[in-house]
Amino acid sequence: QSVLTQPPSASGTPGQRVTISCSGSSSNIGSNTVKWYQQLPGTAPKLLIYSNNQRPSGVPDRFSGSKSGTSASLAISGLQSEDEADYYCAAWDDSLNGSFVFGTGTKVTVL
């Protein structure tokens, strides 16, 4: 099972701001950078945020990431209908010789 914990669901109306939390530990988020992925139904995950708060080219600035201690957050401002998707945090974990771990995932619904 995942070592990064996310709320199973989040929702908002168009234009609202939605925040998703990701809770980890000292061996993962506490000592490594965080990535965030968006997965639309039936498609491969898409990188939204890397290095805690950096956006790859082409990702709208409505998406922002932050990290504090052993937790991280993804914020979606100005929520749009096309943002309805599953979102996953991820980080390298230094325990057990090193591995990459994904969060449990959060389903965002646009009401």
Partner 1 sequence: QLQLQESGSGLVKPSQTLSLTCAVSGVSISSGGYSWGWVRQPPGMGLEWIGCIYCSGSTYYNPSLKSRVTLSVDRSKNQFSLKLSSVTAADTAVYYCAGTEDGGSRDYWGQGTLVTVSS
Contacting residue, 5, 21, 31, 39, with partner 1 by CB under 8 A: 39
Contacting residue, 54, 60, 69, 111, with partner 1 by CB under 8 A: 54
Contacting residue, 46, 53, 63, 75, with partner 1 by CB under 8 A: 46
Interaction between residue 9 and partner 1 (CB under 8 A)? no
Report the 10 Å Cβ neighbour count for 53: 16
Interaction between residue 63 and partner 1 (CB under 8 A)? no
**Ranges assigned E (strand) in the chain:** 9-12, 18-23, 34-39, 46-49, 63-68, 71-76, 85-93, 99-102, 106-110
